[in-house]
Homo-oligomer: A and B are copies of this chain.
């Protein structure tokens, strides 16, 4: 899983806290977490395409949450930042080679291995879909307060 997922989640949380100061330009978010600005931009663009962040072009533009944080699940953020969502991909190995010779009708159905792997990934998704950016925001009020404090004094 790419590092951009961590960045994206933290950015969403921060944008939730900084709702009053939106939009926040990429440069500031990069300085905020000490991240490479150009690459962070690419990941934020992906969140924009997914309808999670909204971009304001032009001077004084930047990024803001496209929806209230209670309506953005962690699953959506992860899905937007990860290309191949499924960690496991079934290549239908069971249908190839000498083992499949004279294959019976069960080869037409879904692969049992893939089915159980999929089931596990569904459990993972369910867990991620059950929590929102608002949950993350609520976890550390101290960080929220410091964010407001620091952002006002942020130069550049």
- Report A's interface with B, CB cutoff 8 A: 1, 3, 5-7, 9-10, 13-14, 31-35, 74, 87-91, 93-94, 96-99, 101-107, 112-117, 119-121, 123-128, 131, 135-136, 139-140, 142-143, 146-147, 149-150, 154
Contact = CB atoms under 8 A, between A and B. Distances in A.
Contact of A139 (B101, B112, B123, B143): B112
Contacts of A123: 123-124, 126-127
Can you tell how many copies of this chain the complex includes? 2
A7 B30 CA distance: 41
A35 B94 contact: no
A146 to B, nearest CB: 6
Given A33-B96, A97-B35, A88 B6 contact: yes
Given A99-B150, A127-B120, A93 B33 contact: yes
B146 A94 contact: no
A99 B149 CA distance: 9
A152 B90 CA distance: 27
A125 B116 CA distance: 12
